[in-house]
Amino acid sequence: MRIGKRFTLILSLLLLCFFNLFAATYRIEGYDIDIVGRTKESAVRRLVGNDEGAEFQSMEELQKAIDAKRQKLLDLRILKSVEASWTEGMEHDGYVPVRIHFSIVGAFSFIAFPSAAYDSNYGFFAQFYVEDQNFIGTTGKLKFSISLKENDNVHELKHSSLTSYIEIQLPFGESWNLRSRLGLDLNGKDNEKSMVFIDLDLGKKLFESGSFTNTLTFMVNPQSKMRTGLRKVLGLIEVADLAFNDSFSINLRNVTALTEDSKARTDTQTTLTGSYNLKKLTGLNLTTALMLEENTWGSTLGSPSLYLKLISKDYRIRWHGDFRSGYNYYLEAYINTKLDTLFKGDIRLFSTPLDWLELSTRLVFRHDTTYVDYKINEFTGHMRGIMDDNALIHNQKIHDIAVLNLDTKFHVLTIPKLIRGYLGPFVDLGYVAPDHFLATVGLEMVLILDEWPGSPGRISIGKSLTDLDEYEVTIYAYFFY
């Protein structure tokens, strides 16, 4: 009996080795893409990858790769449906040729959305916003906005600020990218800050061969302040990347800015970075980097700085209808030879325990030993119920901020083939060093039209718990995070 079992085991192992020896390898031969709508095939190919010739050792491995490509398209939220399948040809020399088929139905991606808000700190805010999330079928974006905002809760038009801009983000094939932005800012509170501006960034991948990539970006950023004349910045960013393997790479980045104003000069910043990814050792997408930075301001040469950096990031979020599950995070820390330190992060968690319920949370924090102007905006931009806390902070040098968002979203309404509605109570908690605490509670209503899955309408009411006189009512597009 024991001999029979041993014989059966040996025979099974021999058969397994035999089939593995002659197992076929699946090789992608090409793609067939059928699209109903205005999305261009070249845009889909850019997203799913031009990977003809890619090989897979099993049918399961191939199917997993196809499912990942399909999910990547669905996560754009500009397509109504994406179906993926594949067919195989006759095996030849151990290879099975495979053709992958995508059947895509586009959604309506153009939205014109009036927004309004009231905040007890600054007053009323009104905006008319237009966006095309699939501009001329490229998956690029066209944005236009015009808004009027009161200052200091003073209900006078001359004391209000008018802001308008038009922005285009447009990818061209695999090697070109364009971003342009034309704007006007009339500041009723401080006329010295009023300006018109244009930003133009045009980037091209110049060279790619094996593990080496070279890209060049040209920038034009003229600003015309209403009272102080023209300030124009022309810039060039050149980047060279050399990857030795999946873990180790070297990056050389040089930024040149030519400033034309009363202090016309040429500034440069050069950084050389060596990075090593520790994922194979730790299982986490953790990268350690050593960066050397050299700055020049006109004829003044700055002293070089050496940075030790740690960066960890991951994105594993999947959409299930209008709900999300998974997580994404970005964590960064550094110290340099000047003993400047930074530690910041953005962590988001999503869970769908029931078909009609989504739970989500976000933690945003930052600690550094330097002071920059945008820290206050970074803080208030993540808080509902209080959109402007400048009255609370008063230009202090902020080194530590943290915001915790706690959200629920549950299904309350469906009109078939038209609209779906979700209700979401929320709590936002905030801290600004040294001793400022904020807490708000509120309720959001999210409405998603069947033809506009990427542009939900959001009505939010928030109330501060730390100052009962502060509250906020907003009507916006898009999820809060």
Per-residue model confidence as pLDDT tens digits over 357-394: 999 999 999 888 875 554 555 566 788 877 554 444 55
**Domain-embedded: residue 15:** no
**Domain-embedded: residue 172:** no
pLDDT of residue 173: 65
Range of the domain at 58: 23-106
Q: What is the mean pLDDT of residues 252-276?
A: 83
pLDDT of residue 379: 62
pLDDT of residue 230: 60
**Domain-embedded: residue 177:** no
**Domain-embedded: residue 255:** no
pLDDT of residue 391: 41
The total number of structural domains in the chain stands at 2
pLDDT higher than 90, residue 236: no
pLDDT of residue 111: 81
pLDDT higher than 70, residue 79: yes
pLDDT of residue 210: 62
pLDDT of residue 457: 85
Last residue of a domain, one of 38, 72, 106: 106
Quick one: pLDDT band at residue 308, thresholds 50, 70, 90? very high
**Domain-embedded: residue 342:** yes
CATH code for position 472: 2.40.160.50
The three-state (H, E, C) secondary structure of the chain, written as one string? CHHHHHHHHHHHHHHHHHHHHCCCEEEEEEEEEEEECCCCHHHHHHHHCCCCCCEECCHHHHHHHHHHHHHHHHCCCCEEEEEEEEEECCCECCEEEEEEEEEEEECCCEEEEEEEEEECCCEEEEEEEEEEEEECCCCEEEEEEEEEECCCCCCCHHHCEEEEEEEEEEEECCCEEEEEEEEEEECCCCHHHCEEEEEEEEEEEEEEECCEEEEEEEEECCEEECCCEEEEEEEEEEEEEEECCCCEEEEEEEEEEEEECCCCEEEEEEEEEEEEECHHHHCCCEEEEEEEEEEEECCEECCCEEEEEEEEEEEEEEEECCEEEEEEEEEEEEEECCCCEEEEEEEEEEEEEECCEEEEEEEEEEEECCCCCHHHHHHHCCCCCCCCCHHHHCCCCCCEEEEEEEEEEEEEEEECCCEEEEEEEEEEEEEECCCEEEEEEEEEEEEEECCCCCCCEEEEEEEECCCCCCEEEEEEECCCC
Percent of the chain with pLDDT over 90: 28
CATH code for position 43: 3.10.20.310
**Domain-embedded: residue 31:** yes
pLDDT of residue 444: 94
Percent of the chain with pLDDT over 70: 86
**Domain-embedded: residue 164:** no
Last residue of a domain, one of 106, 132, 153: 106
**Domain-embedded: residue 469:** yes
Q: What is the mean pLDDT of residues 130-150?
A: 89
Per-residue model confidence as pLDDT tens digits over 141-165: 999 999 998 887 788 888 888 999 8
pLDDT higher for 442 or 235?
A: 442
The chain-wide mean pLDDT, for the chain, equals: 83
Last residue of a domain, one of 59, 91, 106: 106
pLDDT higher for 4 or 82?
A: 82
pLDDT higher for 226 or 133?
A: 133
